[in-house]
Each structure stands twice: as structure tokens, then as C-alpha cells.
Amino acid sequence: MKTITLFMLFFSGLSFAGQAEGFTWNSNCQSGPSPLSEDIGTNAICFDGLTHSITVSGAVNGETYCLFKDNVATGTCITCNLPTPVTFTSINSIGIYTVKKGATLITGSFTIKELPVASDGTASTCSDVALNYNLVNQVTVLQSGVTFTYTVSSSNQAQVPSGPNRTTASAANITDSYHNVTGSDVTITYTVTPIATNTCSGHTFTVSVTVKSEPVASNGTASTCSDIALNFNLVNLVTSHIQ
């Protein structure tokens, strides 16, 4: 007679539990021969100000794992103690995080990418004179290759409507022009999102453009006699933007 012994493993999410031939393990800390390669996964996010964690999948009981940032040891090491997972917490700054077991680099990395940073800007123009505003000049961090989207609003939408929003990112200058005959300055506000080459979007900034009104005047008439000098005040014909 031939006896066949079956061993069953039970799976739950990312965790594994089972025992065969003196072997006990789960996805985070295991004893005996390793059925899983040690791995922290490969992930990249844009900086969000939140705290993140890294768990070593397949960590071996009794082994010590150390966290590195940009290839420099952080001083944080954890020894795997079955069944507690090896998890590094309080990861919240820009850089590339890796884990080593001794001199051996564990597969995977966790990257927190930098955001582009820009400052607000201002400009002014006259009615019907096109802007030529270079948004790149407002960027102070990750300037190279940066592109932009924006929305536009007007302080007098009824008489001086805002220009079109930019929905497809580009580095092109703002070249809108505005017709202003209101007799007052109108403010056009561009709310701009910078997008770096690493695909991260920075916090929005604004460019406030003052569009000066052009003067509006009506036609006039006058009469005089021969040899009588005129004394015609043109200002009286101006109906808006009198300063």
C-alpha cells in the first residue's frame, strides 16, 4: 500500500499561512526555506505631505532589514520576528527608499517624487494689446521641461470676458488679448497648475493681469469765423477713461 500525504495552504489577501516539513511562513515574516523572494514592491508617488510605510514581503525570521534613502542608511533597522511583519513607517519626505538585508539589496523601491514650485505673478497690458507672458519664469523648483494648465476668470466677465482655459498642458506663453472700453481697469486672473517632467503637479499659482481701458470718444463739431482761432477742447469728447 502507498501512502500519500497532502499539505494544504490557505490564502487570505496578501498573507499566506501553512506548515509542511517544519516550515512556517507568511508573506511578511517566515521561517525555514523561503518560498517567497524578499520584496518591497516598486512604487512611486508624488509628494503629498502624508506618512507612508514599506513592508518587506517574504522577510525571513531572525534576519535584520535596514532602510535606506537615496542609498544612504537612515539608521532604522528591524529584525524579523515571526509573525510580526517587517514594516518601516514614518516615510514622508522626498527621495528613493530601498531596503537591505546586510549588504544585499532587497528587490523593489518606494519613491516620493518632488513637486514643481512656482510663485504668483502680475502683469499689465492695454486694451487690444496681446500678452506675451512666460509662465516658466514663475517656476523656482523643477523648472526644466515644466508645462502648465490653467483656468481664467475676469473681474468684469460681462464686458471683458475671460480668455479660454488651457486644458492641454504646454509651456507656451500666455498670448491672450482683451478689449476693454469700460473706462476702468479689469483684472484677468489665471489660476495655473505647473506639471513637472516627473508627471507631478505642483500647487496652483496665480497670474493677475491688469487690462487697462482704452479711451472712448464721440465725434464733435465746431464753427468759427475767418481769422478767428479755434479753442476746441478735445477732452470734452471723451466719454470713458478720463484721467
Return the number of other C-beta atoms located less than 10 Å from residue 197's C-beta: 11
> Sorting pLDDT into bands at 50, 70 and 90, what band is 170?
very high
| Residues 189 and 171: beta-carbon distance below 8 Å | no
| Residues 177 and 131: beta-carbon distance below 8 Å | yes
- Whole-number percent of the chain with pLDDT over 90: 72
Please name each of the domains of the chain with its CATH number: 10-113 (2.60.40.10), 117-216 (2.60.40.3010)
| 54 or 239, higher pLDDT | 54
On the question of pLDDT at 35 being above 70, the answer is no
Give the burial class of 139: count Cβ atoms within 10 A of its Cβ; 0-12 exposed, 13-18 middle, 19 or more buried.
buried
pLDDT score, position 28: 59
Return the number of other C-beta atoms located less than 10 Å from residue 205's C-beta: 21
On the question of pLDDT at 101 being above 90, the answer is yes
> Sorting pLDDT into bands at 50, 70 and 90, what band is 16?
very low
- Whole-number percent of the chain with pLDDT over 70: 84
**What is the spatial distance between Cα 214 and Cα 242, in angstroms, rounded to a whole number?**
10
CA–CA–CA angle 25, 84, 68 (5° rounding)? 105
94, 190, 176, 193: which is closest to 139 by C-alpha?
193
pLDDT score, position 236: 82
Interval 195-221: pLDDT, tens: 999 999 999 999 999 999 998 778 978
